[in-house]
Structure formats: structure tokens, C-alpha cells
Amino acid sequence: MNNNNTDLLITNIIAGIEDLKGQDISIIDLREIENTVCDYFIVCSGTSNTQVDAITNSIQKKVSRALKDKPWHVEGQENSQWVLMDYVHVVVHIFQRQTREYYDIENLWGDAKITQIETNY
């Protein structure tokens, strides 16, 4: 996937999160880290399993409409504490707040460049 497609994918994922008022959105750039499974993580929080599910569906619809792409793999929808959406070069993590705090994924990748997305809601 070229950089333009990756940028477009990230833009649509963020838009899908923002449409459902996902909170604390971060982009973790893993390209400078050795032996990573992808180029970027996008991390956000939802306030309930219902919101986590809704954010997951919103991302899938946005990306599908804009890029005709779907995740290679999605897991965690059974209980929606932590849903992982794998778009190969970009992996999305949608957490409920307490699960996100427990796993503290941003600190696990402390060497990576992390960008916080400002939201207006």
C-alpha cells in the first residue's frame, strides 16, 4: 500500500471514529520501530460496549465506501471491551476506557511517535 492510500485509510478511520464521538484518539507511528506487525496503530476509547460496536461499524462503513476496502481481520466483538480491526498496514484498537487503561498500549510503544487527534465534541 502506498503512502497516499495509507493516509486516506487513516483519514477515513479517524472520520469513522469521530462520527460516533470516539474519545482520546491517538495515531501511533510504528514505521521507525523494528519488527512491528504494521505501520500504524490507531487507538480510541468508547464509553460502553454499544459505543465500541457502533464505532467499529462506522469505521467499516467509512473505509468501505471511500476505499472499497475491508479489514483483513476483526476480533473482540463478542464482548466489545477491546475490538481490534486489522487493515494490514493500519491496525485499529477500540477500547472501553478501563480496558484501555489496563493495557496501556501507548506506553508499550513508547519509542513510537504518537499523535493525539483533537476532537471538537
The pLDDT value recorded for residue 20 is 97
CA distance 85 to 88: 9
Distance of alpha carbon 40 from its chain centroid, rounded?
Answer: 9
Per-residue pLDDT, 3: 76
The domain made up of 3-116 has a fold known as Beta Polymerase; domain 2 (3.30.460)
pLDDT at 82: 97
Inter-residue contact 63 to 13 (CB < 8 Å): yes
User: What are the residue ranges in the chain where pLDDT is below 70?
Assistant: 1-2
pTM of the model: 0.95
The pLDDT score that the predictor gives to residue 1 is 57
According to the model, what pLDDT value does residue 77 have?
92
